[in-house]
Amino acid sequence: MMKTLFTALIVMMSFQLQAVIETYEFETPEQEQLYTEIINELRCPKCQNQTIAESNAGLSEDLRYIVYQKVSQNQTKREILAYMQERYGDFVLYDPPVKPSNYFLWFAPIIVFLIILAAVLTKVGRRRVKGEQSESGEE
Amino acid sequence: MIPELGNFFLIMAFINAIFLGVLSFVGAQKEHKGLMRFSKRASISSFVLILLSYICLTVSFITNDFSVQYVANHSNTQLPIYYRISAVWGAHEGSLLLWVLILTGWMAAVALFSKSLPKVLVTRVLGVMGFIAVGFIAFTLFTSNPFERVFPFIPIDGADLNPLLQDFGLIVHPPMLYMGYVGFSVVFAFAIAGLLQGDLDHHWARWSRPWTTVAWIFMSLGIALGSWWAYYELGWGGWWFWDPVENASFMPWLAGTALIHSLAATEKRGVFKSWTVLLAILTFSLSLLGTFLVRSGVLTSVHSFASDPVRGRFILVFLGIVVGVSLLIYAIQSSKIRSKANFGLFSRETALLFNNALLAVVTFMVLLGTLHPLIQEAFTGGKSSVGPPYFNLMFSIFMIPILILMPIGQQINWKQEPIKPLLTKYWLWAISSIIVGLAIVIIMGDLQPMAIVGTTLGLWVLAGCAKYVLAQASKSDSFSAGLKKISRSYWGMLVAHLGVAVTVLGVVLTSYFSIEENIKIRLGETVEVEDLSVEFYDFKNTEGPNYISSGGSFKVSSDGELITKLHPEKRKYNASRMVMTEADIDAGLFRDIYIVMGEPLDDGAWAISVHYKPFVRWIWLGTIFMALGGLLAISDKRYRQRRREKKQAKKDQVQSAEVSGE
């Protein structure tokens, strides 16, 4: 099982070295901006670790075209991402959705920070009290 | 013959390192003079043996010895000589040898430059490093030997070095980065040695500090070089992708940055000792974890090495042993460590605590984001991704308090400071930062809230450095006399923090105000891109040493005035048949203009991409400042003073010896 996984990884190693340059035309600059934003947040489903904006695999090319069409039809970002998620799973979303299985990912750093903060403040507070005591003790 | 020789040296180094590790600990335990001397010599001989082995591999590359598998896979007769030399670290096996070379290099440096340190401590430090070397040499010898031959069918020519790596940036990037990764092994070894001894006084922090700073300097430059390389070579104008492999180097850097700060507190005030030691262990553990992530192939990344599971398992076991054993030692011995000094809530100690808390959380966040897809897949089997949107958001959340606190932290006194005068000192600077930040964003065009926050914070840090210098200067009679009173290590801190400000401004302004447009253009045509007009005036096919290039020539002008001529290329490499785009960049302090050639379109036009990137150079310029700051810090008087004292002591000894001789 592990072996096939690794072989698959090695096969996928083949680099895409060329920059992707396509010249889609949009009705409004907002549409173009939305298009760029979306293709930079979608992961190419069969590449190593690339957005569909960077990858020039055939599949990415098709996906970019789909995004282009949907943007031109004035669909929202949410709709387009939902469409992609439905077909390719969470894997294509570089922006992990906030849902129970991702709660740890999204909230752990903040909780850890609050814990450290509380620990630091109580420690400093205790130290200060001790410091004052020892100073008064010297008097 | 030469590859066998290389292999032989490698085996010798392996045996040498085993003796070094074992005998150092025995020697330190028994305080045996002979063994302690041996430990120093064995460290140096390890380095020499690995260097010889490394030279053998380099010679195999230069002489195109394709009977060596590694050379055959990563070189070619057409490859220019300088790339043949750098191809040694172009892939897994050779780069591992470079890694070991650098590790033993650090070891030899510790052996040579620590004459003023207690012998027992140095011996333990070298012993710890010796064991690390054993692990990595074993890894090279048993799973990734670069000297393996391909008898009897020797290829006529090699498969060529990956074209991506045929570039100056990539020649320098790995050695720099490895200097950093491996450099953290020194402070790690100091921490373990100190723990084993059970006495970690402020000397311990003073000795570890310069080593940590040097490693950190290399790491900073290594990361910046990688980012710069990605920017000009990959051809999509990005400079940081939050790719797992980038994160693998970013995590030890973040932890190392925290370590530098907590070491300062430990040295000056004797506080946070136990935390500093833990941080030293964690920093090196993250370096090892980075190695594991890059070389095991568990993460899918644009630029990790192709690899097999045996290697992954080896590194994982090694990582487990190093982390497990060192945490065990920490758990047993850390109760012996006592921090003494008291400090108030508003003091530099507290500021440094916050710095460390925030940097530790950022490190944790990057680790979590990098490993989360793996963990999730292991538990639920579902594939998921964590990418730039997550990292950018989370990173900003924690960077904001770091940047707000930085100018205050660098000026506040040790121990205790009343808060009210402190606040009155700062409000004027804060308001000016906001006004100037707002002005800059208005000039750049688009009033985005995060751009205003980022710019303001960058300026706030900048103002903090200026304020400090002004305050110091005003304490003395004349400005220059005041400046002279600031110590080297303080200058170091100021310059490094200035670097942070510069990098922050670069990152924010590039991210929010870059223009990127893909256009169709025919030879002879002129196309407008925002305020720029781009003219496609020439097209040529040329031949390079090992590739064929099609290159376009473009005039970029603004308001009828020529700004620059750019010549982007598409190269097709002969041996690998890979096509690469070479962007051409007109670099400037305030903006870059960047053109990439795309594909020829059906109607004879070319697709090209034109980027306008304001302040992008500041990202790397800031890193250079940070590194300079580090250099200033380690050139501080108190490190030199010790040397002078030592020299004096030696002189005295010699004199007294002469006297007694008479």
Assigned token pair, B115: 């004459």
User: What does DSSP say about strands B584-586 and B591-600: parallel, antiparallel, or unpaired?
Assistant: antiparallel
pLDDT at residue B645, rounded to an integer: 57
Check residue B91 and give its pLDDT.
84
Tell me which residues of chain B, numbers 581 to 640, contact chain A at a CB-CB cutoff of 8 Å.
581, 583, 596-599, 601, 607-609
Residues 55 through 84 of chain A touching chain B, CB cutoff 8 Å: none
Residue B487, Ramachandran bin (φ over 0: left; ψ between -120 and 50: alpha; else beta): beta
Say whether B234 and A94 touch across the interface (CB within 8 A): no
Identify whether B282 is part of a domain. Answer: no
Q: What is the pLDDT of residue B297?
A: 64
Q: Which of B306, B308, B360 sits opposite A13 (nearest CB)?
A: B306
How many CB atoms within 10 Å of residue B405? 19
Q: Residues of A numbered 12-51 whose beta carbons fall under 8 angstroms of chain B's beta carbons: which are they? A: 12-13, 15, 17-24, 36, 40-41, 43, 48-51
- Rounded to whole angstroms, how far apart are CA atoms B164 and B83? 12
Alpha carbons within 13 A on the beta-carbon side of A3: 0
Q: Which residues pair with B536 in a beta bridge?
A: B554
* Single residue among B615, B630, B652 that ends a domain in this structure: B615
pTM for this entry: 0.90
Decide yes or no: CATH 1.25.40.20 for domain A18-97: no
Q: Looking at residue A16, what is its pLDDT?
A: 42
What is the spatial distance between Cα B592 and Cα B585, in angstroms, rounded to a whole number?
7
Which secondary structure element, helix H or strand E, spans residue B552, and what is its range?
Answer: strand B547-558
Residue of A nearest to B236 (CA): A19
- Cβ–Cβ gap B357/A120 under 8 Å: yes
Pairwise CA distance, residues B449 & B512, whole Å: 10
- Mean pLDDT on B564-576: 87
The residues, ordered by sequence, that sit 6+ positions from B408 with a Cβ below 8 Å of its Cβ are B351, B422, B426, B464
**Out of B362, B518, B578, whose CB is closest to A21?**
B518
pLDDT over 80 (residue B412): yes
**Cα B95 to Cα B88: distance, rounded to the nearest angstrom:** 7
Task: Write out chain B residues lying below 8 Å of A53, CB-based.
Answer: 236
Query: How many cross-chain Cβ pairs, A to B, lie less than 8 Å apart?
Result: 157
Q: Domain boundary at B581, B596, B615, which?
A: B615
Rounded CA-CA distance B398/B408 in Å is: 17
What chain B residue is nearest to A95 in terms of C-alpha separation? B389
Which residue range(s) make up the domain with B41? 1-166
Taking only the tens place, the pLDDT of each residue in B87-136 is 999 888 899 999 999 999 999 999 999 888 889 999 999 999 999 999 99
Residues listed for chain A: 139
Q: Contact B607/A23, CB-based, under 8 Å?
A: yes
**Length of chain B, please?**
662
ipTM of this predicted complex? 0.82
Of A9, A15, A110, the CB nearest to B297: A9
Q: Between residues B380 and B503, which one has the greater pLDDT?
A: B503
Alpha-carbon gap, residue A116 to A110, rounded angstroms: 10
From the list B56, B47, B65, the residue with the least C-alpha distance to B4 is B56
Answer yes or no: are the C-beta atoms of B306 and B298 closer than 8 Å: no
Suggest the residue from B236, B310, B376, B394 to mutate for an interface test with chain A (most A CBs closer than 10 A): B236
* A120: its two tokens: 């630091």
Residue B377 lies in a domain: no
B550 bridge partner residues: B541, B570
Which residues 92-131 on chain A approach chain B with CB closer than 8 angstroms?
92-96, 101-102, 104-106, 108-110, 112-113, 116-117, 120, 124-125, 127-128, 130-131
Nearest Cα residue to B557 out of B607, B509, B593: B593
Choose the final residue of a domain: B166, B190, B205: B166
Q: Which phi and psi angles does B58 have, rounded to 5°?
A: -60, -45
Contact B235 A9 (CB under 8 A): no
Read off the pLDDT of residues B525-565 as tens digits, 9 standing for 90 and up: 899 888 899 999 999 898 888 888 888 999 999 888 899 99
CA B503 – CA B224 distance, rounded (Å): 11
Under an 8 A CB cutoff, do B342 and A36 touch?
no
Mean pLDDT for B154-178 is 84
Question: Best interface-test mutation with A: which of B304, B310, B371, B384 has the largest number of A CBs within 10 A?
Answer: B384
Write the residue in B308, B385, B516 that is nearest to A94 by C-beta.
Answer: B385
**Could you tell me the pLDDT band of residue B263, with boundaries at 50, 70 and 90?**
very high
Helix count and strand count (H, E) for chain B: 19, 10
Q: B435-447, pLDDT tens digit by residue?
A: 999 999 998 887 8
Dihedral pair phi/psi, residue B581, rounded to 5°: -95, 135
- B378 touching chain A per CB within 8 A: no
Q: Percentage of chain B with pLDDT > 90?
A: 52
Tokens of B270: 């004797």
Name the 3-class secondary structure at B145: coil
Summarize pLDDT for B18-75 with one digit per residue, the tens. Answer: 999 999 999 998 888 899 999 999 999 999 999 999 999 999 999 999 999 999 988 9
Task: Give the pLDDT band of residue B656 (cuts 50, 70, 90).
Answer: low
Strands B584-586 and B561-566: unpaired
User: What order do you get walking across the sheet with B606-614 strand by strand?
Assistant: B515-521, B606-614, B591-600, B584-586
Residue of A nearest to B570 (CA): A18
Q: From residue B545, how far is each of B80, B401, B568, B597 by CA, in Å?
A: 7, 51, 18, 21
- Mean pLDDT across chain B, nearest whole number? 88
The number of distinct structural domains making up chain B is 2
Sign, CA dihedral B365-B629-B168-A53, equals: positive
CB-CB contact of B226 with B232 (8 Å): no
Interchain proximity A116–B383, CB inside 8 Å: no
Tell me, yes or no, whether B22 lies in a domain: yes
Nearest C-alpha in B relative to A115: B357
What pLDDT is attached to residue B453? 94
Condensed to tens digits (0 to 9), the pLDDT of residues A3-21 reads 333 333 333 333 444 556 7
**Residue B21 neighbours by CB under 8 Å, 6+ apart:** B127, B128, B130, B131, B133, B134
Element (H, E) at B597: strand B591-600
